[in-house]
Structure 1
C-alpha cells in the first residue's frame, strides 16, 4: 500500500507531441510518459539497466544421447575384414586369369574357383556396406567404409558418438551444436550427418554428432542446434518484458525519472541448455537504451490507474 501511495503521488502522464519530442526525438508524438521521482523509484523497487548490443543466432532445442560405440566399431572391423578378403580374392582371380591365358597353365576349374571366391568376397563386402548404410545412415556409413580420424578416435576412446533428435519443422543440420551434460558442463559437437532413425518414442529428424571423450554410453544431453544466420539486437532480462494482449513490451527510461512503454518484436530466448536468463530483442530497442528490469509491473499498474489526457478537440 505504501508503495502505491508513493508512486501515485509522483506519477504524471505527459501526452503532448512537443513534450514527447523534447524527451526523445524518436518517440511517437502521442506517446504517454510516466514520471517517477527517484524516491518513489527506490520505494517501489524500480530498477533500470542499460542494454548491450548482441549478435544472436536462433537455435532449436534438441534431445541428445551418447551412443554405445561397440556395435559401430564391430561393424567397422567386419567391413575391414571383408575389404581385405575381397582384395585378396581379386588378386587371386587376376593371377588365375593370367595363368589360364598363358598356355592354360591352370585348369578351367581352378579359374572358376577363383572367380567364385571373388564373387563371394565381393558380395560379403557389399552386404556389409549396405548394412552400414541402413543402420547408420549415408554419412556415418561412408566413414565406416573408408575409415578416417573420427572412427579411429572412437575406437581409441578419444571421441564419442551422439545422436540428436529435433521435433517440429524441418531443420537443415548445423555443422556444429552445443550441449550440456546432466552435471552442467557444456560441450561442443561437430556434425557427422543425418541419422538413419531417431531415438525410440520420438518423431522428427535425427542427426549424428561427434562429441568429446569420456561421455558414458546412454548419457542424456540437452542440445541447442543453431538455425539460420546471426541477427543484431539487444539482450533483455526476462523480468523486463510485459505480455499485454498478445504483444510484448518494456518500459524504457527516455529521460531521468521518465518512462514510456515500448512495444518490442522478434523476441527469442537466448538460452543455452538449462539457461533462459536473457531474451534477444531484434526490434523496438537499441544498444544503450535504459529499460526497467525490476518493478515494471508497478509502472504498468500506475499507467492504468492514471487519468487519461484531456480531449483537446
Structure 2
C-alpha cells in the first residue's frame, strides 16, 4: 500500500517538472521570436548600400531616417559662367603716398619762396642798374652786389623747380601717373578715402604667363567668409611696382577697407574674356572633401543617394560653378558627411546590382548546374 502511494507521488512530481519545463521552453521560444522580429525590424530601418556599375556605392536611406538625420537637399538652378583666373593681391601701406604728398607740398612751398625772392632780387638789380646808367647815382659795386643776389635767387629757384619735378617723376615711377595725380593733386579726390581708412589700395599680381589685353575694370576679392560676401575692387591703373614673391603683371585696385589690414594677402578672381558656359552653381554647403577630392551627394531617388565628384575650379559667389552635376539635379546641402560615413562604414550590407549582379548571378547559376550534374553522375 505504501509502495503504491510513493509511486503515485513520484509520477506527480515528474509530471509537474515536465509541465514547468514545457512552459519555460514556450516562454523562451516566444522571447526569441520576439527578439528576432525586433532585430529584423531594425535591419530594415538601418541604411543599406549597394554597388553601382561604376564602383560607387548608393546609400539607401528611408524617409524616416532622412528626417532623423536632418538630410536636406536643394535643386540646382541654371547658371551662366565666364572663365576667370585666380590671382593674389597685397594690401599696400598708403603712408608712402602720404609722405610723398607732404614732401611735394613742402617742395611747392620752397618753390614759391624761391620764386618770390628771385622776382624781388631781379627788380632790385634792374632798378640799380638803371640808376647806374643814368646819373651815376649808384656805384657799380652796388649794382654788382644786386646782380649777385639776383643770380643766387635764380639758382635757388632752379633748384626748387628741380625738386618739384623730381618728386613728380618719383611718384610716376613708383605709383604710376594716375596715383601720382591723386597724391600730388587735389586732396578731395579718391585718395582722400584711402587716407581716412575708407578704402584700401590693392596690388594685384597676375599668374605668371597670363597676359591680358586690358585689365578688368572690376575684380572679385575673397573676403574670408562666404563667397556671397566677396568684395568688388575697382581698377586704378597698371602698376610699375612688382611683387617680389610672385612674377606677373601687376595692377592697382581700390577696394572698400572693411576688415582689410596692411600687408594682408588676399585671393582675387580675375574675369577673363572667354565664352559664357551653361551649368549650375553647386552650393558651398554641399561640398565635402574626402581623399583630397571634392564630392557632393546627389539624390537619385526618394531613398537613394550617390556620391559625385566635383572640380571646384570655378569659384563663384555662393559656391562653385559646375557643368556636371547640372541644373535640375538634387544635391544634398545638409547631412552629406553622415551619408559618407554610412557609405564607408557599412560595406557588409552591400548587394551588387547592374553588371556586377548579372555576372554574380551567372557564376551562381553555373555553379548550381555543375552541382546538379555531379548529382546525376552519382
Range class of TM-score, shorter chain: 0.5 to 0.7
Show the counterpart of 1:236: 283
Show the counterpart of 2:97: 72
TM alignment of 1:162-177, pairs within 5 A: 162-164=201-203, 169=208, 175-177=218-220
Distance 1:90 1:163, change over 3 A: same
> Are the aligned partners of 1:181 and 1:220 in contact in 2 as well (CA < 8 Å)?
no
Distance 2:254 2:176 in 1: 15
Q: In structure 2, the residue corresponding to 1:49 is in which secondary structure?
A: strand
Distance 2:44 2:177 in 1: 65
Show the counterpart of 2:358: 310
Tell me which of 322, 325, 338 is aligned to 1:285: 325
Tell me which of 180, 184, 192 is aligned to 1:141: 180
Show the counterpart of 1:19: none
Distance 2:80 2:117 in 1: 62
Distance 2:286 2:259 in 1: 36
Distance 1:48 1:191 in 2: 39
1:263-295 deviations in Å (ceiling 9; x for gaps): 544544557xxxxxx641322122331023424
Name the count of aligned residue pairs: 281
Tell me which of 226, 229, 232 is aligned to 2:269: 226
> Are the aligned partners of 2:235 and 2:254 in contact in 1 as well (CA < 8 Å)?
yes
> Are the aligned partners of 1:191 and 1:208 in contact in 2 as well (CA < 8 Å)?
yes
Distance 2:252 2:232 in 1: 13
Show the counterpart of 1:131: 170
Distance 1:239 1:76, change over 3 A: same
TM-score, normalised to structure 2, is: 0.51
* Stretch deviating more after TM superposition (142-151 or 260-269): 260-269
> Are the aligned partners of 1:3 and 1:43 in contact in 2 as well (CA < 8 Å)?
no
Show the counterpart of 2:241: 196
Distance 1:238 1:252 in 2: 13
Q: In structure 1, the residue corresponding to 2:47 is in which secondary structure?
A: helix
Distance 2:111 2:265 in 1: 43
In the TM superposition, residue 124 of structure 1 has moved relative to its aligned partner by: 1.2
TM-score, normalised to structure 1, is: 0.59
Q: In structure 1, the residue corresponding to 2:241 is in which secondary structure?
A: coil
> Are the aligned partners of 2:92 and 2:202 in contact in 1 as well (CA < 8 Å)?
yes
Would you say 1:49 and 2:88 are equivalent positions? no
Show the counterpart of 1:274: none
TM alignment of 1:1-313, pairs within 5 A: 6-8=46-48, 11=49, 34=58, 36=60, 38-39=62-63, 41-42=65-66, 45=69, 47-54=72-79, 58=84, 60=86, 62=88, 64-65=90-91, 67-69=93-95, 71-83=96-108, 116-147=155-186, 149-154=189-194, 157=196, 159-164=198-203, 169=208, 175-178=218-221, 180=223, 189-193=233-237, 194=239, 196=241, 198=243, 202-203=245-246, 208-212=252-256, 219=262, 221=264, 223-229=266-272, 233-237=280-284, 239-241=286-288, 243=290, 249-265=295-311, 267-270=313-316, 279-293=319-333, 294=336, 295-297=338-340, 298-299=342-343, 305-307=350-352, 308-311=356-359
Distance 2:322 2:183 in 1: 44
Distance 1:176 1:39 in 2: 44
- Find the structure with the greater CA-based Rg: 2
**Structure 1 spans left out of the alignment, 5+ residues:** 16-29, 272-277
Show the counterpart of 2:27: none
**Structure 2 spans left out of the alignment, 5+ residues:** 1-41, 132-142, 363-378
Show the counterpart of 2:373: none
Distance 2:199 2:67 in 1: 55
